[in-house]
Amino acid sequence: MTSLNKSGLLASHGEVLREGVRDGMPIALGYFVVAFTLGIAARNAGLSPLQGFLASFFNNASAGEYAAFTVIAADRPYLEMVLITIVANARYLLMSCVLSQRFAPDASIWHRIFVGFDVTDEIFGISAARPAPLDPYYNYGAMLVALPGWSVGTAVGIAAGNALPAAAVSALSVALYGMFLAIIIPPARVNRVIGAFVALAFLASFAASTLPVLSDLSGGTRTIILTVVLAGIAAVKFPRDD
Amino acid sequence: MTHSIWVYLLVMSAVTLAIRILPLTLIRRQIKSRFIRSFLFYVPYITLAVMTFPDIIHATQTPTSGFLALVVGALMAWFGASLFKVSAFCCVVVFVTERFLIG
């Protein structure tokens, strides 16, 4: 019965699954490198390779995990972990909303849960670019390679980050920021409001790190405050119609 | 360290998974509030920008190398380089710069 189901599954979904694996491959390679450097941040926060693997398997979020590791490193309250995870991952809420519109109305709850499990910038990007209705097996294909790339990369970063010379650690530690730039700059070029607020965020963040009261707060708290204030202003002044 | 890493992991994973899965399973219509939609639209760019600067210049051995990585990475992203390329070149910039600065 099980094998029958399996062969039936592969017969009807094998091709789209393979397409997902194909498109997920470059994502997985990029993830591995970036996750390796994320592992360095995780190691500094005191995580073991297993803990890093689990964190990355269940979160698969560069900014979210990085922010979370700074909370762990600073030994901040659990409530701060909740808040910063919400703020750093808020975009996935929107992407999840977008994908919920792409599913066929009769799609099972399990497909919705498993697709939701790995809504990342990149997997959202490739799956939203396909015509509706969303075929969950395409996402599964991409997840099949992207998830191990990300979580194994983090574990290897924690285990091997130690053995690397300072010059290499210094160089690799900007990979994550490079990824952030690759996510925010192209939309900032196309959309003037995003561009202006990205520049404003740079300035405000720099100012907040030097100003008397704000610089006493943890980096995570500053991130939450600045994000909510600036995105709130942007939403009021430049509401979106689409 | 007064908090448990395992509890931290549990908290962050539960929140992340809720954020990703709840809308997909609960919402079958478009969000109506224009403010919330707009707010959520801007959040990712702003929060990533806040986390990138000035942190990038503190992450490296010298502020100069981090700042150069920021400039080069931003320019490459501006001209459409892939996530992987931008990320890799930022590392190269830091490595090469520090060879000259530190030796």
Helices (H), chain B: 5-26, 34-52, 55-59, 63-78, 83-101
pLDDT at residue B95, as a whole number = 94
A204 contacts B50? CB cut-off 8 A:
yes
pLDDT at residue A149, as a whole number = 93
Which residues of A fall within a CB distance of 8 Å from B21?
Answer: 96, 112-113, 116-117
Which residues of A fall within a CB distance of 8 Å from B2?
Answer: 75
pLDDT at residue A161, as a whole number = 72
B84 contacts A81? CB cut-off 8 A:
no
pLDDT at residue A1, as a whole number = 41
A177 contacts B69? CB cut-off 8 A:
yes
A128's tokens: 């939203």
Q: Which residue has the higher pLDDT, B67 or B27?
A: B67
pLDDT at residue A162, as a whole number = 67
Rounded distance, CA A150 to CA A62, Å?
Answer: 9
- Domain residue limits, chain B: 5-101
**Hey, of B16, B34, B37, B60, which one would you mutate to test binding to chain A, going by the most A CBs within 10 A of its CB?**
B16
Distance from CA of B27 to the nearest CA of A (A): 7
Rounded distance, CA A118 to CA A142, Å?
Answer: 10
* Model confidence, pTM: 0.72
Half-sphere exposure of residue B6, counting CA atoms within 13 Å on the CB side?
1
Question: A125, A101 in Cβ contact below 8 A?
Answer: no
Give mean pLDDT in consecutive 10-residue pieces for chain A, a chain of 242 residues.
51 85 81 85 92 95 89 91 88 81 84 94 77 90 94 93 77 83 91 96 95 78 86 95 73
pLDDT at residue A11, as a whole number = 64
Helices (H), chain A: 2-44, 49-59, 62-73, 78-102, 109-117, 121-128, 136-160, 166-172, 175-190, 192-210, 219-237
CB-based contacts of B103, cutoff 8 Å, min separation 6 = none
**Res. B21 pLDDT band, cuts 50 70 90:** very high
Q: What's chain A's Rg over C-alpha atoms?
A: 20
Question: B62, A4 in Cβ contact below 8 A?
Answer: no
